[in-house]
């Protein structure tokens, strides 16, 4: 029996070895279960009984009962209690599936309780066993547990089935059970069926199991599912055959271990659920919807779609689409069908991968290397990353809001972005942005770009760029055209290179805040935004052509360059550098400071607002140029504008150019500084109130004040409107220079060949130069004195030249126009206009021409004004002449000395003639009538005349001396009375006298009349040999000057003292009488006011002293009672008195002029007469006298009589 059991055991599976020759039930079953036993793995618990089952109640040999199994089995065992000899194998019989009755082949040795196990192992599986009663009536108790060993299929009857029992104990039929791999490197070529039962499982159990047989559904059309697991770990399932078929796919293949679909393997299933590791080799195929929560490595074909929540790697083909929420890596091959990368999903491309459908990304899509070609749309809701060297090619790319695309390699797609795109590689294809695009320095956007949100670029944009959003460019290039419109804003904040056109329109903005935008073919700005185009300080914006439309504005604080042309019809504000030809159209406005390099053609408004420099190009102005800062560096400015204020330089501003040409109908207004290095050619209107530097050629009109520093050639009209200075350069006047009531000084060589006018009737003007050559006219005669021509050097006049001056001949203030020069030469005609209503005497000449040296000749013009100014005015004569003591020329006021001298000369003549009027001692002496007192009365009449050759000089330098012949006729009468005391010693007479003398003086032109009543006293002493007299007179003088001077007489006084002394020497019948005589008259007259109003004549008190010596020779002849005493007299007298001095007191405060008439000198007296003494004591005399001198000649006749009482 033991040998039989051993043989059977050798043919059974491992776990069947529990059917050993043992009485210990635990060897078979173990210690668990409802009856105390646990079914061992691979066993199926059938039933248990309690109590004895007595087979003897059954007819011997008859069936006892039948046990039906739910599944096939090949082994059966049970426990029996047997007594006596029952327990031989033959005691108990059985039949399988109703077959022949057989005896049990296995019996264990009964134990102490006589219990033993009976069992069998069948060659073929069976589903029922029938036990038969013993053939004899033995008492057999079947008491215990029934067990059957599963053989096939792989069901749930056993916890698992061993792969090593396949074909023996286990059939390759999955019916919900578990097949455990128990062989190292097992290869299983069975064809398996898979029922629809749940629980079909392959347990790798730590082993690698390779299936080379096919798996199919147990029932066609009814998909069966299978689970792959590994209860130990480290195992692997390898499929090298077909699991399912195209027409009859398995249900779900669930993998919890390592599943490899080999090169010849195929899995056709409705679904593959991978929770372990799935590897599909090249050539391997999985035609199933794959749901992965583990790890997948595909080098073959996955054709049913993938739902990945694990780690997925593919170099093969994935079809049917992908839904990824974990890690999906495609290192090559294809991933076809719609792809959905869910939130949290990581989809990585690391090779050459293509997809034939769409890609919806809510996680991370990374193209690490290689290229990814997607024929459909890529919709990104989270993050797409294309690494450097990698490529992403898609039919389209839609980047949703809050999503991110980062390209470091290459993207070729029609893009639409509402999220964030960061491009550091190449982006080919169109891109419509409503989100944020960041094109980094290494990035290129090569397709057309349409931006309505935010785009930042430091790289290259090479396609057409349409923007209505916000663009920030920090570098790179824009090589295609740009259309920035609506409210779009493009900001340049780095070095950006352009190559196409840039259109800025609607209300868009182009802002260069840092760096540069260069190389544009054109910049067309028609934006109506107030800051349509702006460039910040330190930035650059350049294009071949720049156009700024009407209503648009460009603000440049950096560098703005138009290589070919800058057309402006709008507004340009530049405070930086503007390069290139600038054409500012009519209606265009430019406000500029900084630099404008290039020619400018302005038909609009160009305003320089600060310091502005040009690099030597020209400026053509057809509109309005206003300079409020410093505009320097121009080669030339051509102004042909017809605007009224076409070029204006404001106060404090500067405009400098090589040359300036101002057209005939154009205006330049300068209140600042204009500098030309070559020429300022003015044919229009130039108004300057600031500074003009450089040569000026004028054929138009110039109104200037301030400074003109440079040579001036004037063939037009040059009008000085205020204080104007030069820098020593010359002025050539070929037409009209009007200084007016202003000053023009600082000229060098002034050359006047036409007309210059200086001053006005209300303001004085000054022209100052180093030298002046005059062949034209200089007019300063305008009714107001004070105009000046001031020359530090020479004045040269030529034939035909003229100067006209105003001179105030009614003032003593030397008020006149004047030309002052270092020297004078040549010939000039001078016209003079008297600005005063009247003329007076002025003590100093009115200087018109002040010349330090030289021999210039100036002649007074014959015009009426000049002749009126220089005509005589009563006692004042005027002349234009060279002033004494230098080379000055001017108007000299000189007294008409002959007229004025009538007062001193005529008065002196009158005073001198009084000596001839008053009596001598013989006219007064009477013979004594004995000793004692006696008295007499007497009377006398005088008539005579003197001719004086007088010289009257004036104290000023210009009044001529008057050589006058004054004829004074005088006559008068005198009476008196005296008392006489006589004695042996002689006699003494004391008397009083009175009378009146009349004088009539005249010279060649003028007459004076003198009337003087007088009174006096006298004393006469006589002796035998002596005769002396002393007379004193006081007269009240009334002088009537010539009507030319005054029609009003003036009063005066004349006080005279006369004395004489004679010695009487009888010589025979003659008496010789030497004598000495002295007479002194002091004349005082009131001031003579000249009726002309020119002043007055104030004569100093005049003392006329005459001293004489002579001899008188007389004799006596009695004629009856009448004794005659004839006599002759010969004497020498001399006018020793002071000169007659009269001061001319000019009206207007001029210095007085002293007129001095000298004394007449000495003369000879020749007299003869006769005295008669009548017997009655009366006396009479008649005397005639002649005076003969160099300056005085005259006569007098005196007749008188005395009567004693």
> What span, in angstroms and rounded, lies between the C-alpha atoms of 951 and 763?
46
Q: For residue 6, what are the contacts with CB-CB under 8 A and spacing of at least 6? A: none
For 942, list phi and psi in degrees, rounded to 5: -130, 140
Q: Do residues 16 and 169 lie in contact, with contact meaning Cβ atoms separated by under 8 Å? A: yes
For residue 271, what pLDDT is reported?
A: 93
User: Is the CB of residue 406 less than 8 Å from the CB of residue 424?
Assistant: yes
* Residue 1094 confidence (pLDDT) above 90: no
Average pLDDT over residues 367-394: 89
The C-alpha atoms of residue 390 and residue 412 are separated, in whole angstroms, by: 11
Of residues 1161 and 40, more confidence is placed in: 1161
Burial of 469 (0-12, 13-18, 19+ CB in 10 A): buried
- Whole-structure pTM value: 0.61
Contacts 24+ apart (CB under 8 A), 738-746: 739/765, 739/766, 739/767, 739/787, 740/765, 741/765, 741/784, 742/705, 742/766, 743/767, 743/768, 743/788, 744/704, 744/720, 744/768, 745/769, 745/790, 746/707, 746/709
How crowded is the C-beta side of 257, counted as CA atoms within 13 Å? 28
Segment 1053-1066 mean pLDDT: 94
Q: Alpha-carbon distance 716 to 236, whole Å?
A: 114
**How far is it, in rounded angstroms, from Cα 652 to Cα 273?**
90
Of residues 780 and 54, more confidence is placed in 780
| Cβ contact 48:145 at 8 Å | yes
Cβ proximity of 547 and 527 under 8 Å: no
Tell me if residue 444 falls in helix, strand or coil.
strand
Closest CA to 392 of 418, 374, 404, 416: 374
Instruction: Tell me: cis bond preceding 1036? Omega within 30 of 0 counts.
Output: no
pLDDT, tens digit, 9 for 90 and up, residues 599-636: 999 999 999 888 888 888 999 999 999 989 899 899 99
Question: Which residues are 1060's β-sheet partners?
Answer: 1029, 1077
- If residue 365 lies in a helix (H) or strand (E), which one and from where to where? strand 364-380
Look up tokens 């109130």; give the residue: 689
Cα dihedral 704→708→712→715 (10° resolution): -10
Q: Mean pLDDT of all residues in the chain?
A: 86
Phi, psi (deg, nearest 5) at residue 691: -125, 130
Contacts of the segment 700-709: beta carbons below 8 A, 24+ positions apart: 700/662, 700/664, 704/744, 705/742, 706/670, 706/671, 707/746, 709/746
pLDDT (0 to 100) of residue 1113: 95
Residue 930 has a pLDDT of: 74
Per-residue pLDDT tens over the stretch 737-765: 999 999 999 999 999 999 999 999 999 99
Q: Quickly state the pLDDT bin for 144 (edges 50, 70, 90).
A: very low
d(CA 1069, CA 1147): 66
Phi, psi for residue 675 in degrees, rounded to 5: -125, 125
* pLDDT over 70 (residue 852): yes
The 3-state DSSP class for residue 493 equals strand
**Whether the predicted pLDDT of 555 surpasses 60:** yes
């Amino acid at each position: 029996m033991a040998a039989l059991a051993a043989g059977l055991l050798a043919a059974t599976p491992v776990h069947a070895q529990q059917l050993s020759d043992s009485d210990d039930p635990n060897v078979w079953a173990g210690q668990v279960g409802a009856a105390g036993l646990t079914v061992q793995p691979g066993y199926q618990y059938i039933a248990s009984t309690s109590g004895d089952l007595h087979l003897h109640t059954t007819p011997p040999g008859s069936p006892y009962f039948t046990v039906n199994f739910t599944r096939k089995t090949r082994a059966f065992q049970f426990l029996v209690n047997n007594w006596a000899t029952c327990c031989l194998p033959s005691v108990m019989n059985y039949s399988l599936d109703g077959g022949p009755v057989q005896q049990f082949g296995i019996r264990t040795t009964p134990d102490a309780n006589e219990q033993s196990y009976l069992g069998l192992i069948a060659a073929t599986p069976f589903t029922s066993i029938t036990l038969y009663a013993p053939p004899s009536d033995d008492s057999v108790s079947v008491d215990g547990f029934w067990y059957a060993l599963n053989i096939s299929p792989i069901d749930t009857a056993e916890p698992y089935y061993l792969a090593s029992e396949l074909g023996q104990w286990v059939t390759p039929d999955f019916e919900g059970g578990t097949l455990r791999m128990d062989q190292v490197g097992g290869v299983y070529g069975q064809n398996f069926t898979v029922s629809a039962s749940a629980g079909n499982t392959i347990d790798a159990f730590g082993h690698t199991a390779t299936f080379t047989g096919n798996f199919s559904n147990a029932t066609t059309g009814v998909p069966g599912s299978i689970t792959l697991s590994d209860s130990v770990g480290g195992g692997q399932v390898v499929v090298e055959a077909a699991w399912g078929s195209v027409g009859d796919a398995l249900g779900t293949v669930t993998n919890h271990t390592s599943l490899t679909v080999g090169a010849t393997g195929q899995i056709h299933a409705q679904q593959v659920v991978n929770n372990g590791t799935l590897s599909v080799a090249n050539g391997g195929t999985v035609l199933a919807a794959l749901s992965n929560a583990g790890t997948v490595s595909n080098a073959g074909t996955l054709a049913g779609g993938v739902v990945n929540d694990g780690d997925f790697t593919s170099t093969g083909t994935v079809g049917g689409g992908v839904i990824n929420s974990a890690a999906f890596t495609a290192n090559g091959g294809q991933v076809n069908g719609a792809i959905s990368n869910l939130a949290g999903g990581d989809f990585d491309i690391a090779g050459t991968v293509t997809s034939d459908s769409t890609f919806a990304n809510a996680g991370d899509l990374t193209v690490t290397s290689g290229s990814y070609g997607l024929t459909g749309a890529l919709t990104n809701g989270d993050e797409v990353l294309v690494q450097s060297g990698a490529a992403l090619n898609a039919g389209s790319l839609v980047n949703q809001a809050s999503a991110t695309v980062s390209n470091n390699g290459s993207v070729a797609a029609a893009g639409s972005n509402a999220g964030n795109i960061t491009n550091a590689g190449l982006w080919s294809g169109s891109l419509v942005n409503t989100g944020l695009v960041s094109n980094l320095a290494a990035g290129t956007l090569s397709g057309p770009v349409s931006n309505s949100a935010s785009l930042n670029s430091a790289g290259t944009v090479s396609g057409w760029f349409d923007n209505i959003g916000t663009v920030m460019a920090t570098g790179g290039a824009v090589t295609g055209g740009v259309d920035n419109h609506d409210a779009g804003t493009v900001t340049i904040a780095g070095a950006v290179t352009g190559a196409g056109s840039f259109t800025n329109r609607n209300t868009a903005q182009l802002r260069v805040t840092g760096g540069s935008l260069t190389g544009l073919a054109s910049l067309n700005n028609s934006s109506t935004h107030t800051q349509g185009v702006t460039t910040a300080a330190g930035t650059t914006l350049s294009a071949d052509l720049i156009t700024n439309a009407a209503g648009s504005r460009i603000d440049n604080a950096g560098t703005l360059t138009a290589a070919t042309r800058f057309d402006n019809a709008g507004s340009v504000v530049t405070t930086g550098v503007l390069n290139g030809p600038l054409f500012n159209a009519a209606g265009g406005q430019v406000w500029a400071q900084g630099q404008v390099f290039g020619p400018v053609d302005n038909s609009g408004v160009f305003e320089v607002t600060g310091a502005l420099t040009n690099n030597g190009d020209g400026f053509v102005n057809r509109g309005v140029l206003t300079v409020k800062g410093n505009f320097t560096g121009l080669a030339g400015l051509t102004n042909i504008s017809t605007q009224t204020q076409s070029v204006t330089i404001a106060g404090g501003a500067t405009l400098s150019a090589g040359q300036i040409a101002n057209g005939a109908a154009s205006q330049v207004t300068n209140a600042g500084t204009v500098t030309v290095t070559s020429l300022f050619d003015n044919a229009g209107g130039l108004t300057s109130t600031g500074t003009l530097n450089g040569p000026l050629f004028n054929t138009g009109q110039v109104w200037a004040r301030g400074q003109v520093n440079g040579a001036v050639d004037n063939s037009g009209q040059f009008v000085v409107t205020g204080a104007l200075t030069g820098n020593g350069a010359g002025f050539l006047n070929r037409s009209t220079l009007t200084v007016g009531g202003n000053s023009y000084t600082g000229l060098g060589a002034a050359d006047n060949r036409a007309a210059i006018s200086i001053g006005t009737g209300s303001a004085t003007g000054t022209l100052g130069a180093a030298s002046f050559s005059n062949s034209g006219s200089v007019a300063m005669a305008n009714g107001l004195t004070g105009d000046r021509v001031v020359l530090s050097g020479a004045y040269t006049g030529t034939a035909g030249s003229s100067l006209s001056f105003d001179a105030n001949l009614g003032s003593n203030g030397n008020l006149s126009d004047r030309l002052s020069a270092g020297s004078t030469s040549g010939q000039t005609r001078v016209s003079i206009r008297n600005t005063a209503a009247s003329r007076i005497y002025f003590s100093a000449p009115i200087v018109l021409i002040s010349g330090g040296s030289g021999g210039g000749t100036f002649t007074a013009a014959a015009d009426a004004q000049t002749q009126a100014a220089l005509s005589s005015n009563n006692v004042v004569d005027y002349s234009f002449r060279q002033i004494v003591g230098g080379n000055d020329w001017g108007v000299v006021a000189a007294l008409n000395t002959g007229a004025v001298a009538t007062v001193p000369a005529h008065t002196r003549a009158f005073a001198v003639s009084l000596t001839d009027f008053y009596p001598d001692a013989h006219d007064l002496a009477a013979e004594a009538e004995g000793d004692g007192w006696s008295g007499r009365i007497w009377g006398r009449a005088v008539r005579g005349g003197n001719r004086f050759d007088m010289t009257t000089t004036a104290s000023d330098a210009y009044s001529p001396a008057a050589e006058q012949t004054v004829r004074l006729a005088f006559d008068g009468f005198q009476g008196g009375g005296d008392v006489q005391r006589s004695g042996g010693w002689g006699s003494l007479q004391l008397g009083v006298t009175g009378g009146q003398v009349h004088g009539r003086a005249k010279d060649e032109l003028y007459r004076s009349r003198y009337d003087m009543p007088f009174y006096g006293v006298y004393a006469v002493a006589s002796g035998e040999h002596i005769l002396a007299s002393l007379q004193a007179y006081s007269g009240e003088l009334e002088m009537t000057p010539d009507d030319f001077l005054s029609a009003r007489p003036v009063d005066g006084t004349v006080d005279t003292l006369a004395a004489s002394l004679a010695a009487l020497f009888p010589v025979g019948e003659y008496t010789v009488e030497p004598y000495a005589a002295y007479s002194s008259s002091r004349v005082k007259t009131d001031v003579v006011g000249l009726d002309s109003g020119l002043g007055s004549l104030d004569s100093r008190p005049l003392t006329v002293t005459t001293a004489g010596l002579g001899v008188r020779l007389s004799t006596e002849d009695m004629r009856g009672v009448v004794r005659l005493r004839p006599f002759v007299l010969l004497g020498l007298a001399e006018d020793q008195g002071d000169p007659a001095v009269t001061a001319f007191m000019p009206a207007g405060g001029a210095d007085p002029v002293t007129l001095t008439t000298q004394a007449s000198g000495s003369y000879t007296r020749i007299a003869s007469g006769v005295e008669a003494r009548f017997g009655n004591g009366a006396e009479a005399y008649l005397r005639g006298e002649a005076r003969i001198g160099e300056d005085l000649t005259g006569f007098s006749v005196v007749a008188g009589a005395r009567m004693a009482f």
